[in-house]
A and B are shown apart, each in its own frame.
Chain A
Amino acid sequence: MVKDLMTRLDKPFELFEVSIRKASDEDLVDISRDMALSLSPDEMKTIREYFQKEGRDPTDIELQSLGQAWSEHCCYKSSKAILKEFVFGIGRDDVLSRGDAGVMVFDDDHGYALRIESHNHPSAVEPYGGAATGIGGILRDVVCMGAQPIALADPLCFGYPDRKGDLPPGTKHPRYLMSGVVSGIRDYGNRVGIPTITGGMFFDERYTGNCLVNVACLGLVKRADLARNCAGGPGEVMVLIGGRTGRDGIHGVNFASRELTETSDEDSRGSVQLGDPITKEPVMHACFEVNAKHLITGMKDLGGGGLSCVVGEMALEAGCGADVNLEKVPLKESGLAPWEIWVSESQERMMCTCKPENLENVLAVFDAWDVLATPVAMTTDTKRTRIFWYGEQIFEMDQSFLTAGPLYHRPYTAPVVSSIENERVPRLPDDRAIILKLLSDPNVASKEWAIRQYDHEVRAATVVHPMVGEMNETGPGDASVLRPVPSSMKGLAAAIGCNPWFTALDPYNGGMSSVDEAWRNVVAVGAMPNALTDCLNFGNPEKPERLGEFREAVRGIGDFAKALNIPIPSGNVSLYNEAPGGASALPTPMMLCCGIIDDISKAVTADFKKPGSRIYVIGKTREELGGSLLYRVFGGRQGAVPAVDVNNVRELTGKVLKAMDGRLISGCHDCSDGGIAVAVAEMCISGQMGAVLDLRKAADMSPRKVLYSESNTRWIAEVSEENAEEFEKIMGGSAHNIGKTGGNSLKLMDSGAIIEVEEMRKAWNDPIWKIMGGQS
């Protein structure tokens, strides 16, 4: 019985001592469970050993703190070794910071920040609040670099929103989750005034039990104002900024670091915090001001683990310890136990450090913005964290033991990879029926229902919008582009790429393909890819086959990034994405690619511009239909998952950008789900213009395979007759002329299929509106 091991100490406040030194191995498991520490038996043994050496038993707050710091979410204990092996440390001298957000050089005066993060489990339980707080957290990660957030991006994965039939126990209907998540992003993003410029929606039955909500943020910082996320040294004051601390969000990181269960709903409501964008806004302004005035030495947001993590990390990074006066923390309600204050994840809080002589000025700035700011701790030269409660010490631990956390090399098995030998080609209807069906698949169909609820233009810098083409008759875009510095024509492009289906069948090529997709989206608008950030959503790492998937996908991402020398200055790992009952969500390596375009007036959008242009496919089409939309929709099995030839990526990127720089390409669209067929159809829809395609010369295989293959590193380009010669000269055989624009329908010479553009628009436009309600 754990109760017997816990002794309430004779104090005027709630504090327990846990007799861990004499606890049996079984007791340790009970302690971890009953105190909701989510620590493994081995980890509990390590802790028992530590306190045996210290010669005393821990308090409840010490154990809680370890539970936070050692969670997967906080210390990446299962993933770190793999990340280190494959993706860390791609160095380039334009990486300005690898802090809470990565920061890259934008121009001589500015850097841009990028970061992506998951908010999966909270959103599965309470979609509105979960998604909203996800946005709040990612904004703070960018703010604490000293950067003004300038854009949000939010890739989401759900079960089919029109799903019929019984749901697995403890699961909410995908339509409900999708509606709540989009509302949460809308209300938080719009209220805080940061445009949501790109994203993605992925639908599959395997997300029904565990939806994925990833949120990304970009920021702009003057290079002179780039902030650090740690203290400057010992003897500094730690000032807690923003919201008050309450019981909301206790044990959020532990919740994120285990699988969902049938009762997650009831058990975990307390783990979902509620955000307040209107508190956030002045907090942001005030943080920028103290930072720009160089009054502070570092700042960091309070995310997972709350105070327990932020104090340790800010001190450890600076090689210091910290003395905390926990009773100074402003509370939402009285009666919180010290451990609850220490681990609460209440929203809208930041921590900054400053030299004591600047404290008064720092507090004055926050006061002027009506933002609560309270000195709660001092950094010390002891390398230990101590906590005091009205002068009485209740906590003392080594920084290195507490914050560094364990590191695992867990066992994994190499995944069995899908192959062309075992391919089963599905029975297919005619091309007309196929194309209309693919366009209306929710993975392809218009996401306008969500996009127009997000303000994607606030801050007045959005120059390539998420939807392109004729106004209010738009089609899908590739990357979105911002012009973040109004006095300059330089633009920042951002796009999401991910193919979970490829990753499930072939994790290595799936990881590579995901990067390739994000990369080619950025190239499609005329920008040079400059940096990546990733959110790796995978299953339980304690299952060797799940970890094997993760490892292979990360290897693929790393091989791509190293070969193209593109840094990944920030990233996030979300493991334990498994539905109640243990069905794994699709392995989902969500990539965000940022690119730079020197002159935004040269940006290219996907819509066909005028009749009589030539249509080219750039890049080689191979017999790669494994995991393709065609197979998913019509029941194909296995097959070769598209691979990536990194030298080819480098070469084609150079050629496409050169042609765009010469203004030779008038429309360009990345070729992904549904292959050439869907890409061209989408360009017809956004351009309100037909096309005639003849694929016989495009590759040495049946036109049908050419039409639907999803080979990587391909673009569809529209080139006017007068530019064709120069364009072909640059391409040097890498582009194949496959047709011409014009007319009111898409005509396929090979099969004789004819589909009117209006019919395609309807097939593509209506499905999600119909499911979610409303009209375009």
Chain B
Amino acid sequence: MAVIEIRIELKKGVADPEGRNTKKALEALGFEGVGEVKTVKVYDIEVEGTHEEAVSEGEEMCRKLLANPVIQNFKVTVR
């Protein structure tokens, strides 16, 4: 049993309204010097098999469901 971490990020150049709004909210709460805010989605998934098998299964999950290649990149690592 392995736990893989799947990190789904927006592709470069895809606007991030949630990040933008979060930045505004943080500034409104008085945080100064807040730079770019990006939203990232992370899944921790338990899977059977060796580390290598787990990673390739995670990548398959991304292709089939978890990422839309038009707007998102993914990275799968074993935790």
Check A-B contact in the complex, CB < 8 A: yes
- Of residues 12 to 35 in B, which have CB atoms within 8 Å of A's CB atoms? 21, 24-25, 28-29
Instruction: State in angstroms the CA–CA spacing of A323 and B21 once bound together.
Output: 53
- Of residues 177 to 207 in A, which have CB atoms within 8 Å of B's CB atoms? 179
Instruction: State in angstroms the CA–CA spacing of A176 and B21 once bound together.
Output: 13
Instruction: State in angstroms the CA–CA spacing of A176 and B28 once bound together.
Output: 10
Chain A interface size, as a band, is under 10
- Of residues 44 to 73 in B, which have CB atoms within 8 Å of A's CB atoms? none
A773 proximal to B (CB < 8 A): yes
Partner of B24, one of A173, A176, A773: A773
A-B contact count (CB 8 A): 8
A175 proximal to B (CB < 8 A): yes
- Of residues 125 to 177 in A, which have CB atoms within 8 Å of B's CB atoms? 173, 175-176
Contacts of A173 in B (CB 8 A): 29
Give the shortest distance, in Å, between B31 (CB) and chain A (any CB): 13
Q: Which residue of A lies closest to B28 (CB)?
A: A175
Q: Which residue of A lies closest to B24 (CB)?
A: A773
Contacts of A773 in B (CB 8 A): 21, 24-25, 28
Q: Report how many residues on chain B are interfacial, defined by Cβ distance under 8 Å.
A: 5
Contacts of B28 in A (CB 8 A): 175, 773
Instruction: State in angstroms the CA–CA spacing of A761 and B66 once bound together.
Output: 45
Contacts of A175 in B (CB 8 A): 28
Instruction: State in angstroms the CA–CA spacing of A176 and B25 once bound together.
Output: 9
Contacts of B21 in A (CB 8 A): 773
Give the shortest distance, in Å, between B25 (CB) and chain A (any CB): 8
Q: Mark B34-45, 1 if CB is under 8 A from A, else 0.
A: 000000000000
**Interface residues of B, dominant DSSP:** helix
Instruction: State in angstroms the CA–CA spacing of A173 and B24 once bound together.
Output: 16
Instruction: State in angstroms the CA–CA spacing of A773 and B25 once bound together.
Output: 9
Contacts of B25 in A (CB 8 A): 179, 773
Q: Which residue of A lies closest to B21 (CB)?
A: A773
Instruction: State in angstroms the CA–CA spacing of A173 and B30 once bound together.
Output: 12
Q: Mark A749-776, 1 if CB is under 8 A from B, else 0.
A: 0000000000000000000000001000
Contacts of A179 in B (CB 8 A): 25
Give the shortest distance, in Å, between A182 (CB) and chain B (any CB): 13
Instruction: State in angstroms the CA–CA spacing of A183 and B40 once bound together.
Output: 20
Q: Which residue of B lies closest to A175 (CB)?
A: B28
Contacts of A176 in B (CB 8 A): 29
Give the shortest distance, in Å, between A592 (CB) and chain B (any CB): 32
B21, B24, B28, B29 — most chain A CB neighbours (10 Å): B28
Q: Mark A355-396, 1 if CB is under 8 A from B, else 0.
A: 000000000000000000000000000000000000000000
Q: Which residue of B lies closest to A173 (CB)?
A: B29
Contacts of B24 in A (CB 8 A): 773
Give the shortest distance, in Å, between A628 (CB) and chain B (any CB): 32
Q: Which residue of B lies closest to A773 (CB)?
A: B24
Q: Which residue of B lies closest to A771 (CB)?
A: B28
Give the shortest distance, in Å, between B30 (CB) and chain A (any CB): 10
Give the shortest distance, in Å, between A475 (CB) and chain B (any CB): 27
Give the shortest distance, in Å, between A269 (CB) and chain B (any CB): 20
Give the shortest distance, in Å, between B11 (CB) and chain A (any CB): 25
Instruction: State in angstroms the CA–CA spacing of A52 and B28 once bound together.
Output: 59
Give the shortest distance, in Å, between A176 (CB) and chain B (any CB): 8
Give the shortest distance, in Å, between B73 (CB) and chain A (any CB): 26
Instruction: State in angstroms the CA–CA spacing of A574 and B29 once bound together.
Output: 31
Instruction: State in angstroms the CA–CA spacing of A735 and B24 once bound together.
Output: 50
Instruction: State in angstroms the CA–CA spacing of A175 and B21 once bound together.
Output: 14
Instruction: State in angstroms the CA–CA spacing of A175 and B25 once bound together.
Output: 10
B21, B24, B25 — most chain A CB neighbours (10 Å): B25
Give the shortest distance, in Å, between A159 (CB) and chain B (any CB): 15
Instruction: State in angstroms the CA–CA spacing of A773 and B23 once bound together.
Output: 12
Instruction: State in angstroms the CA–CA spacing of A173 and B21 once bound together.
Output: 18
Instruction: State in angstroms the CA–CA spacing of A179 and B24 once bound together.
Output: 13
Give the shortest distance, in Å, between B22 (CB) and chain A (any CB): 11
Q: Which residue of B lies closest to A774 (CB)?
A: B21
- Of residues 728 to 763 in A, which have CB atoms within 8 Å of B's CB atoms? none
Instruction: State in angstroms the CA–CA spacing of A9 and B21 once bound together.
Output: 54
Instruction: State in angstroms the CA–CA spacing of A773 and B21 once bound together.
Output: 8
Instruction: State in angstroms the CA–CA spacing of A179 and B29 once bound together.
Output: 13
Instruction: State in angstroms the CA–CA spacing of A270 and B74 once bound together.
Output: 35
Give the shortest distance, in Å, between B32 (CB) and chain A (any CB): 17
Instruction: State in angstroms the CA–CA spacing of A175 and B27 once bound together.
Output: 13
Instruction: State in angstroms the CA–CA spacing of A609 and B25 once bound together.
Output: 40
Q: Mark A18-49, 1 if CB is under 8 A from B, else 0.
A: 00000000000000000000000000000000
Instruction: State in angstroms the CA–CA spacing of A387 and B25 once bound together.
Output: 50
Contacts of B29 in A (CB 8 A): 173, 176
Instruction: State in angstroms the CA–CA spacing of A546 and B29 once bound together.
Output: 35
Give the shortest distance, in Å, between B15 (CB) and chain A (any CB): 15
Instruction: State in angstroms the CA–CA spacing of A226 and B25 once bound together.
Output: 46
Instruction: State in angstroms the CA–CA spacing of A390 and B19 once bound together.
Output: 51
Give the shortest distance, in Å, between B63 (CB) and chain A (any CB): 24
Instruction: State in angstroms the CA–CA spacing of A122 and B25 once bound together.
Output: 22
Q: Which residue of B lies closest to A179 (CB)?
A: B25
Instruction: State in angstroms the CA–CA spacing of A462 and B15 once bound together.
Output: 34
Instruction: State in angstroms the CA–CA spacing of A179 and B26 once bound together.
Output: 13
Give the shortest distance, in Å, between A161 (CB) and chain B (any CB): 11
Give the shortest distance, in Å, between B75 (CB) and chain A (any CB): 28
Instruction: State in angstroms the CA–CA spacing of A191 and B25 once bound together.
Output: 24
Instruction: State in angstroms the CA–CA spacing of A675 and B63 once bound together.
Output: 60
Instruction: State in angstroms the CA–CA spacing of A416 and B25 once bound together.
Output: 43
Instruction: State in angstroms the CA–CA spacing of A175 and B28 once bound together.
Output: 10
Give the shortest distance, in Å, between B72 (CB) and chain A (any CB): 22
Give the shortest distance, in Å, between B29 (CB) and chain A (any CB): 8
Give the shortest distance, in Å, between B24 (CB) and chain A (any CB): 6
Give the shortest distance, in Å, between A772 (CB) and chain B (any CB): 10
Give the shortest distance, in Å, between B27 (CB) and chain A (any CB): 10
Instruction: State in angstroms the CA–CA spacing of A773 and B29 once bound together.
Output: 13
Give the shortest distance, in Å, between B35 (CB) and chain A (any CB): 19
Give the shortest distance, in Å, between A179 (CB) and chain B (any CB): 8
Instruction: State in angstroms the CA–CA spacing of A163 and B33 once bound together.
Output: 23
Instruction: State in angstroms the CA–CA spacing of A773 and B22 once bound together.
Output: 11
Instruction: State in angstroms the CA–CA spacing of A644 and B65 once bound together.
Output: 61
Instruction: State in angstroms the CA–CA spacing of A176 and B29 once bound together.
Output: 9
Can you give 8 A-B contacts (C-beta < 8 A)? A173-B29, A175-B28, A176-B29, A179-B25, A773-B21, A773-B24, A773-B25, A773-B28
Closest 7 CB pairs between A and B?
Answer: A773-B24, A773-B21, A175-B28, A179-B25, A176-B29, A773-B25, A773-B28
Name A residues whose Cβ lies closer than 8 Å to a Cβ of B: 173, 175-176, 179, 773
A-B contacts besides A176-B29, A179-B25, A773-B28, 5 pairs, CB < 8 Å: A173-B29, A175-B28, A773-B21, A773-B24, A773-B25
